[in-house]
Amino acid sequence: MRRRLCGKHRRMWLVALAVFCACLVLVWDREPICDVSGGNQLCQDVRTEPLEIFDMNRRIMIALGQHEHPQKRLASPFTIPIAEAGRDRCDSLNTLDSPDQKLTFLQNSELVVFGRDPYRRIFSAWVDKLYSPNPFYWIMWGRWAAPSRSSRKCDPNITFSQFVRLVVRPKGLHYADVHLRPVSRECRMCDVQYTLVGKIESTTEDLEVLASRINVSMAFLRDPGYREASAVDTVLDAVEGAFSWRGNIQNCGVSLDRMGRSIWRKLQIRGVFDYMQLYPFKDGELRDMSANKFIDACRAAIKRSTNMERLKRQKELAFVQAFSQVDDTDLEKIAQVYYNDFLLFGYEKKPDVLFKNRNNTVIYSETKGSTTTTTDAFDWSKDWVL
């Protein structure tokens, strides 16, 4: 069995999941999904650029097992700082020179690909990089998403519908940006014989299968504290970056109060803590506040958010509400642009939750039960009341 994931560390394994790359599809020693030379329909419009393994954006999770020192096996991947989770930890095709070296690398490696539902992937990209304070993407994406305002240096007010239009238009982000390119194209699924194909939605189960193949422990995935550790990691990523960019954020015309409130709402939209955890700071309070104080408030909100069903409901509400704002034409274009991803990973091309009853968002009220009205999940200036 092939067990090497990192050429430099034969007794060590590392799994890096790309942000863009989400039920369980496992394939052992199978034939390629499709044959380019045979003109299989699944392989149409697949890019022909060189494959880059491990050349991905920031890690979601690193799970590291050390066979030489089992007593020191990692309790959680979140004990590894993001700064230490770089791709230089492992060999990759980019670090090898000769074709023979690259072939040997592939023959002695577990080739793993993870997919994610394209609709949720697009929504996540908008929440993380445009709705949440991120001056880099306000410049990179924001000024192009609204042509009438393209003269602005940065644009922090891009709506989800504007972003979707930027993703699906010809030569748009689905073509130009690694965060939004179809996984089937980016990961060359028609050309590479992957040994494991998984989905972000079933990461725990899929990683456990991978762990059994390479004989390492993934016990931390079932640890009672794992959910909280994951939530705190999301908080650190959201808060530390924004606080370090305070000057750039203000230069884009965004106040520190808006910065704090939109971070808080982003974490609620992501299901890190529930909507009943109200924003705890007064206007002007963030001016002299440290990131650690904000993080402590988020940690406290996580500990109070014990209703997992409520967290799932509010995440789904925000997702559905966002797509209710998207034009029918642009929604259809998503189904077309990501056709191969829907097909190869088994996702619904036109899920009822997005394509039916588009003018109504079903929400759950803690006091009134179910109803068919809308609530603005994205108005950071007001408490999110369901």
* H/E stretch holding 205: helix 203-214
Q: Which residues of 67-94 are buried (b: 16+ CB within 10 A; e: fewer)?
A: eeeeeebbebbbebeeeebebebbbbbe
- Tokens linked to 318: 């925000």
Confidence of residue 108 (pLDDT cuts 50, 70, 90): confident
Average pLDDT over residues 233-252: 96
Whether the Cβ atoms of residue 249 and residue 133 lie closer than 8 Å to each other: yes
Closest-CA residue to 321 (of 373, 273, 368, 270): 373
CA atoms 53, 56, 59, 61: torsion sign: negative
Amino acid at 361: T
Sequence-separated contacts (24+) of 346-352 with Cβ below 8 Å: 346/23, 346/25, 347/115, 347/117, 347/118, 351/119
pLDDT tens-digit profile of 324-374? 999 999 999 999 999 999 999 999 999 999 998 776 555 444 544 544 445
Average pLDDT over residues 277-288: 97
Q: Which residues is 267 bridged to in the sheet? A: none
Question: Going along 71-148, which residue ranges are E strands?
Answer: 112-115
> With the CA atoms of 218, 224, 226 and 229 taken in that order, what torsion angle do they form, in degrees rounded to the nearest 10?
-150
pLDDT tens-digit profile of 57-82? 333 233 334 334 444 455 567 777 76
* Integer Cα distance of 109 and 101 in angstroms: 12
pTM of the shown model: 0.80
Question: Going along 183-257, which residue ranges are E strands?
Answer: 196-199
Q: Where are the domains of the chain?
A: 12-116+181-222
* Integer Cα distance of 238 and 201 in angstroms: 21
- Tokens linked to 234: 């999301």
Given a cut of 50, whether residue 89 has pLDDT beyond it is yes
Give the CA distances from residue 74 to residues 62, 91, 313, 367, in Å, rounded to whole numbers and listed in that order: 10, 21, 32, 43
* Integer Cα distance of 357 and 372 in angstroms: 10
The mean pLDDT of the chain is: 78
pLDDT tens-digit profile of 155-166? 999 999 999 999
Given a cut of 80, whether residue 24 has pLDDT beyond it is no
Amino acid at 237: D
